[in-house]
């Protein structure tokens, strides 16, 4: 039974759930429209270039969670997942996930996006395990801080190794699907790295190393 590991944004989804949550908050006047939207776009561009200051980004991304009760946040989140995320599940994602399930593989998402956003998406996709940057909650309120090591770049390996230490799995025969050059450390660690709709830098490396390149945005590829 192999481990099938998936990045989330622009891999299983045809879009970035972290960025889109920011856009959802802007659209619903949960945050200040002008300032938040500009910063959100700037951070996205930094991520796409592999130049993101992740600690600075997490301070920005987690701050809105501190302003509202968890009940209100979870109501917004449910609406967001239903109306913004469900429509952008990549067309090839269900078949890919089912293929691994039919092989008896264990499915796990490892995403840099924080757990507030990713947990209900993993549930929507029926993926039982998720490693994601965990926002801190104290007395039923988000604090704006996070717990442990953020699951970004090499942090994904740190989180995955900790998970492996506590579960009856190994990376022998493992797969990892990702679109991003930011995930190169973990792609280099698994048995079968697969580039999904890769960014330009990852596409070059995938071709050089003869890794499989997959297009989940087109059904059946």
**Is position 183 within any domain?**
yes
- Phi, psi (degrees; rounded to nearest 5) at 18: -65, -50
Q: Give me the residue label for tokens 């481990």.
A: 3
Q: Catalytic residue, from 7, 18, 179, 183: name it.
A: 7
**Is position 152 within any domain?**
yes
pLDDT at 168 over 90: no
As for how many domains the chain has, the answer is 1
Are 177 and 7 contacting, i.e. CB atoms less than 8 angstroms apart? yes
Average pLDDT score over residue span 103-117: 97
Average pLDDT score over residue span 121-126: 98
- Phi, psi (degrees; rounded to nearest 5) at 189: -90, -30
Of 40-49, 106-115, 142-151, 177-186, the one with minimum mean pLDDT is 40-49
Instruction: State how far the Cα of 49 lies from the Cα of 51, in Å rounded to an integer.
Output: 5
What's the pLDDT tens digit per position in 2-13?
A: 999 999 999 999
**Is position 220 within any domain?**
no
**Is position 219 within any domain?**
no
What's the pLDDT tens digit per position in 52-98?
A: 899 999 999 999 999 999 999 999 999 999 999 999 999 999 999 99
- 9 has catalytic annotation: yes
pLDDT of 51 reads 85
**Is position 202 within any domain?**
yes
pTM above 0.85, yes or no: yes
Q: Catalytic residue, from 9, 16, 18, 105: name it.
A: 9
- 32 has catalytic annotation: no
Please give the C-alpha separations between residue 32 and each of 26, 35, 40, 75, 91, in angstroms, as whole numbers. Answer: 7, 6, 11, 19, 33
Transcribe 171-208 into DSSP letters: STT-EEEES-GGGHHHHTTSSEEEEES--HHHHHHHHH
**Is position 55 within any domain?**
yes
pLDDT of 114 reads 96
Domain span at 64:
3-214
pLDDT of 219 reads 60
pLDDT at 221 over 60: no
**Is position 53 within any domain?**
yes
What CATH number does the domain containing 205 carry?
A: 3.40.50.1000
**Is position 221 within any domain?**
no
Portion of the chain with pLDDT greater than 70, in percent: 99
């Amino acid at each position: 039974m192999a481990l099938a590991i998936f990045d989330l944004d622009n891999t299983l989804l045809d879009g970035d759930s972290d960025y889109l949550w920011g856009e959802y908050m802007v659209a619903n006047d949960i945050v200040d429209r002008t300032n938040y939207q500009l910063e959100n776009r700037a951070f996205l561009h930094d991520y796409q270039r592999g130049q993101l200051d992740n600690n600075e980004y997490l301070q920005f991304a987690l701050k809105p969670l501190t302003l509202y009760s968890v009940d209100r946040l979870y109501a917004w989140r449910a609406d967001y997942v239903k109306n913004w995320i469900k429509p952008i599940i990549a067309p090839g994602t269900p078949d890919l996930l089912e293929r691994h399930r039919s092989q008896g593989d264990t499915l796990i998402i490892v995403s840099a996006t924080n757990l507030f956003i990713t947990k209900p998406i993993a549930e929507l996709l029926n993926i039982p395990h998720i490693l994601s940057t965990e926002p801190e909650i104290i007395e039923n309120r988000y604090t704006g801080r996070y717990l442990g090591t953020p699951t970004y770049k090499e942090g994904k390996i740190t989180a995955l190794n900790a998970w492996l230490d506590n579960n009856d799995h190994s990376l022998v025969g493992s797969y990892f699907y990702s679109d991003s050059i930011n995930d190169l450390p973990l792609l280099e660690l698994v048995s079968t790295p697969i580039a999904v709709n890769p960014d330009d830098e990852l596409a070059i490396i995938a071709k050089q190393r003869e890794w499989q390149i997959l297009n989940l945005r087109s059904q059946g590829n």
